Amino acid sequence: MVIMGRRFNIAPTQKHPVIKLEEGKPVLKEMQWGLIPFFSKEPKMEFTTINAKAETLNSRPMWKRLLKDKRCLIPADGFYEWEKAGDAKKPWRFVLKNREPFLFAGLWDQWSDANQDLQTFTIITVPANPLVSKVHNRMPCILPQSAYEAWLREPRQDLLVPYPESEMEAYRVNPIVNSSKNEMEACIEPWK
């Protein structure tokens, strides 16, 4: 099932496909990036909820509840981080060396009122591996294919580790990715 076409520059508050369990089976659903917890008074991000640190999932009540029952997988084929260079920010794209798509570990929740049900998600982050740490101190948790089913079915925090540097590579990309309005293939092309 395909919910939407290929994307090149997804930003928080935008919709993205997410895999979660429903009645014990993996299903693909479109959700909004930026978790809005069920207890929020309004459907807006009141907290910094686009990412959740793996190290705090059991110590923060909001994450602990979701870790138990609302784990998900977020499909991607790369991610961006920005290198600070004086006042400028240089964007880098991180991919697997084999250029295959992969899945991030995530958590999801549903916010509801009388008028709508809104499903949202957050991406779990881990300390950066040596490749990513040249640009940023954290990275999204990329799961190996062998861990996809396990993450959906159990709160396996042992799976939340940096992806091996040896299986990844990075390259500079066009600064047009600094604006989420730019949604084109040029966003992922190498830039000098």
Distance CA 21, CA 19 (A): 7
Domain ranges, residue 171: 15-188
pLDDT in tens, the chain (192 residues): 344 567 888 888 899 999 999 999 999 999 999 998 877 776 666 656 899 999 999 999 889 999 999 999 999 999 999 998 888 889 999 999 999 999 999 999 998 777 878 899 999 999 999 999 999 999 999 999 999 999 999 999 999 999 999 999 999 999 999 888 998 899 899 997
Number of H helices, E strands in the chain: 2, 11
Pair of tokens at residue 93: 């794209």
CB-neighbour burial class of residue 171 (10 A; exposed 0-12, middle 13-18, buried 19+): middle
Q: Examine residue 26 and state whether it is found in any structural domain, yes or no.
A: yes
CATH number, domain at 87?
3.90.1680.10
Is residue 9 included in any domain, yes or no?
Answer: no
pTM: predicted TM-score of the whole model, two decimal places: 0.92
Residue 7 lies in a domain: no
- Tell me whether residue 162 is in a domain: yes
Q: Indicate whether 105 belongs to any domain.
A: yes
Quick one: pLDDT at residue 62? 87
Tell whether 97 is covered by a domain.
Answer: yes
Q: Is residue 76 part of a domain?
A: yes
| Domains contained in the chain, number | 1
Instruction: Identify which of 1, 7, 18 has the alpha carbon closest to the alpha carbon of residue 109.
Output: 18
- What b/e readout covers 21-36, taking b as 16+ CB neighbours within 10 angstroms? beeeeeeebebbbbbb
Does any domain span residue 10? Answer: no
